[in-house]
């Protein structure tokens, strides 16, 4: 796991932490994220709630926000106003779904433990 996030995070980490070797920075960063995931699984022992929370955040962004955002950023000068409005509407819908799904997941987590 963490292949894509690590490809995004590691170049910045390696550039900002120059006193350690590249291997040490990568190993430390990967270890941090594994321990973070482990701690979250301890804090939220009902794994289905954790998966719902991550799914609400990640799925909405990956499916509804990032693709039209990338499209608008790449083809901003050549797309019509209608396509641009459509992309922004899809992104707004994705943001609403992301917020609603995240809030719903957090409410379920709180109700489970309170």
pLDDT of residue 1: 59
pTM for this structure?
0.62
Q: What is the pLDDT of residue 91?
A: 96
Q: Which residues contact 57 (CB under 8 A, 6 or more apart)?
A: 98, 101, 102
With b for 16 or more beta-carbon neighbours within 10 A and e for fewer, the 65-91 pattern comes to: beebbebbeeeeeeeeeeeeeebeebb
> What's the pLDDT at 89?
97
pLDDT means per 10 residues in the chain (114 residues)? 78 84 87 88 81 88 92 93 95 95 93 87
């Amino acid at each position: 796991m963490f292949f894509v996030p690590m490809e995004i995070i590691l170049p910045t980490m390696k550039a900002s932490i120059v006193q350690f070797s590249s291997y040490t920075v990568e190993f430390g960063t990967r270890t941090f994220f594994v321990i973070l995931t482990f701690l979250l699984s301890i804090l939220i022992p009902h794994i289905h709630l954790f998966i719902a929370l991550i799914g609400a955040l990640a799925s909405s962004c990956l499916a509804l926000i990032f693709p039209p955002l990338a499209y608008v950023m790449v083809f901003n000068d050549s797309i019509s106003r209608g396509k641009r409005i459509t992309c922004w509407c899809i992104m707004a819908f994705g943001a609403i779904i992301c917020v609603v799904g995240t809030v719903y997941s957090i409410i379920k987590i709180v109700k489970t433990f309170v």
